[in-house]
Structure 1
């Protein structure tokens, strides 16, 4: 490909990633209007399915996408993922019932699972083996993804206030069609001469394990008690399916997620760090906005604007890190500093109370974004640099898989911690009742909720500190520092 084609290809990839992340987060801001429009009587009770169905489908498809990239070539898989996502978007916008919308969100999720992960593979192939260690493409991709996560609720709130909710799906079409056409005309990516066999049994086991685990995190403590037969049964099924998946990967001729990847210290450490970062990001994005709404009484759209300092921090530090490229002391140093900086920001967030100055909160979120901006994307660069060329797809989607599972487990973990702490310190009742309380009872509830959120942020800070320690152990042999040489 010519330099001009490569530059256009990078722009296409960044637009695709922004589209994927915005769509995943934008729906959370308009779930109530959707439920009231499609099912006034029972729609609100089905909102969790509206959110979780997309995540279930996207996560279940991730391991298969990696193998398909290594077998069929990244361009074909990329075009298929974008096409599936756009078809799902059209159908979601045209849905006339909650049942239809939930089903179409699953189809959209199947495509959405490939938008982020396959795009990272395309970026790596656009750069070529000798350039993958520089971090410029994937580093910018990581900051675009982080900024999209922070801006998604803002865009959703604006559309909810000034347009019909169906436009959150229809708005994908012009951008998505432009991406599809440009990718088809511009991309010229390498294809391996050997045709790989697809481990469909392994893909099915991975999908079943992911679905069972995500259902445990979505339903546990909300729809069903943690000790209920439903949750215990799903947890047992998840463990059994994980064992069967690992057995299949150890015995299959061409496994979906080769266990040999975990023998490389750089790869297994990168997977672990990405999972921990996924847990922490889930906590910051969800519970900061919840704190602002329930404790400070700020409207949803206005509360989402507090994510802008975090997005600015991600963009600024991500751009600096990606432009430094190989001139930085090392990508490992960037990841260690980034996770450490994010851990400090989370610890500061844990000290906020009902009367904390909101500008101090914005400064803490800016610091958090600066930390994440040095980490997002760089982890993917490190993993891609350490992976063998013929396993680039499975290694890249593996990073995304662990981040998604980490985020889901984090939601369950933090939700349980918050509920337990609030029950011990609050005036009784659910946290959703706080806005209706008055006088001393509301003051006590706000203080208890602040304490509960503070414990959540302290847990996130501890996990990020652990991530920094693990990042310091990332190898510098076959991974960072020596490129894609012999293994």
Structure 2
């Protein structure tokens, strides 16, 4: 099929499909971050604690991460469009249920479970279909750029949009908005999205592998959440999670040796560029969610800001992401992906340093804005290249698996960001120096950025996308 018209634009149907994919990534990222500015409102309304709302947020991110690999595998068996629509319907149902939640338990069922499962089903098809429908390198980079940019915007604009809605109406209205956007995506997807590959019901599904992979990830993140309460329990859960994941890989190897279909092919881990790209994805989303959670909690708990005031502060980050996203395609044509990722980490770490330097020495809120703006610039500039590095490292028949693995690793980063920073904050607030806890939490986020920077340094020098949509070696 022709991917560009004579004007350089995608055909109408393909453009509508891309809008649906970008909106789907936006709403999932929005759902993960907009709760941060509503922590105080939700905890008061549902008669729970800040830690209770944090648990709901972390569980949402964890369910996504734990089920993303199985979700990616199901696309081969039941079809990518079918999984996309089903995931959207589950997500929308969870959003509606959450909007009427009378207590924390129902909120967890609607938000953490239903929206989490829905996201795990709908996100892998978004990236698989993008890879299949946008065939040449230039078109695919442009499409991934739009989707990743909307994901980044959803994550950093979530506090602003959620804060405005919570202040003007209610935090419950934010969930109604999610349901309405999901309905629009369903209607658009039914008409514009097509699946180039037919589903294969003969493809077996590795139930044991799905259970082991999900259980291992959950044990590790829950262990981090419990770090402040019981260090021994934390160690035990993290070790148990590592053992379960090791057992998962043992079963995968056994299935491959016997000629059976595993949940995840070990060939996905033999590609150096992809492995390093996955590390950068994980640390990027840890920084997105970790910094958002720390700053949001600080503004509400320490400064006493309401939802709209807290969201307004994040306008600086949103503007930074928008600016860097606007130049993403142009930069991808001129610079290797490795260079863009390295620059993104360096700029983001510099933004955190600026935030701590200016924001920590002044009581005026404007002092936080330069650091948040620079953080947005860095994050927006490196999200797309990391996706491209990973997704483009494998042929079509492995797109279901690598898409599930890629999204799982990214969402695991988000859940680790919320769990790690939340644990540091709870320990600090309960201790003798609560103000220092926020500094330590942001330092931990910067430390994760250093890990991502090192991984990016060892990425092989890739290709620069040429103006004609092809590529040239560097």
**CA-atom RMSD in angstroms:** 3.0
Answering whether residue 129 of structure 2 is matched by residue 122 of structure 1, we say: yes
Matches of 1:191 and 1:313, distance apart in 2: 38
Per-residue deviation, residues 301-342 of structure 1 (Å, max 9, x unmatched) = 3122111111111111112112444x2222221111111111
Give me the TM-score of the superposition, normalised by structure 2. 0.86
What's 2:171 paired with? Answer: 165
What's 1:98 paired with? Answer: 104
Q: Is the 8 A contact 2:156 2:288 kept in 1?
A: no
The structural deviation recorded for 1:123 is 2.2
The structural deviation recorded for 1:146 is 1.4
Matches of 1:311 and 1:463, distance apart in 2: 21
What's 2:430 paired with? Answer: 430
Match of 2:24 among 16, 20, 27: 16
Per-residue deviation, residues 193-223 of structure 1 (Å, max 9, x unmatched) = 76422212111111111222222223331xx
Match of 2:35 among 27, 47, 58: 27
Q: Any unmatched runs of 5+ in structure 1?
A: 423-428, 432-444
- SS of 1:84's partner is helix
Matches of 1:182 and 1:416, distance apart in 2: 40
Matches of 1:61 and 1:318, distance apart in 2: 29
Give me the TM-score of the superposition, normalised by structure 1. 0.84
The structural deviation recorded for 1:266 is 0.8
CA change 1:33–1:450 in 2 (3 A) is closer
Q: Is the 8 A contact 2:152 2:383 kept in 1?
A: yes
Q: Is the 8 A contact 2:67 2:408 kept in 1?
A: no
Q: Is the 8 A contact 2:281 2:410 kept in 1?
A: yes
Answering whether residue 194 of structure 2 is matched by residue 188 of structure 1, we say: yes
Matches of 2:246 and 2:434, distance apart in 1: 39
Matches of 2:80 and 2:276, distance apart in 1: 25
Q: Is the 8 A contact 2:345 2:379 kept in 1?
A: yes
Matches of 2:301 and 2:312, distance apart in 1: 16
- SS of 1:303's partner is helix
The structural deviation recorded for 1:360 is 3.9
Matches of 2:304 and 2:155, distance apart in 1: 23
What's 2:93 paired with? Answer: 87
Match of 2:293 among 286, 309, 316: 286
CA change 1:331–1:356 in 2 (3 A) is farther
CA change 1:99–1:463 in 2 (3 A) is closer
Answering whether residue 155 of structure 2 is matched by residue 149 of structure 1, we say: yes
Per-residue deviation, residues 135-190 of structure 1 (Å, max 9, x unmatched) = 21111211211111122122222222222433222222332122112211211221
CA change 1:362–1:33 in 2 (3 A) is closer
Per-residue deviation, residues 69-89 of structure 1 (Å, max 9, x unmatched) = 234332121111111111222
Per-residue deviation, residues 43-72 of structure 1 (Å, max 9, x unmatched) = 767434432332232222100111122343
What's 1:225 paired with? Answer: 230
What's 1:255 paired with? Answer: 262
CA change 1:281–1:45 in 2 (3 A) is closer
The structural deviation recorded for 1:191 is 1.0
Match of 1:66 among 45, 63, 72: 72
CA change 1:50–1:468 in 2 (3 A) is closer
**Which is further off, 277-286 or 241-250?**
277-286
Answering whether residue 451 of structure 2 is matched by residue 470 of structure 1, we say: no
What's 2:5 paired with? Answer: none
Q: Is the 8 A contact 2:73 2:401 kept in 1?
A: yes
Matches of 1:73 and 1:149, distance apart in 2: 28
Matches of 2:72 and 2:129, distance apart in 1: 11
Matches within 5 A, 1:190-229: 190-191=196-197, 195-221=202-228, 224-228=229-233
CA change 1:479–1:81 in 2 (3 A) is farther
What's 1:240 paired with? Answer: 243
Matches of 1:346 and 1:255, distance apart in 2: 41
Per-residue deviation, residues 418-449 of structure 1 (Å, max 9, x unmatched) = 567x5xxxxxx737xxxxxxxxxxxxx8xx55
- SS of 1:190's partner is coil
Matches of 2:51 and 2:291, distance apart in 1: 25
Answering whether residue 284 of structure 2 is matched by residue 277 of structure 1, we say: yes
Q: Is the 8 A contact 2:36 2:296 kept in 1?
A: no
Answering whether residue 408 of structure 2 is matched by residue 405 of structure 1, we say: no
Q: Number of residue pairs matched?
A: 454
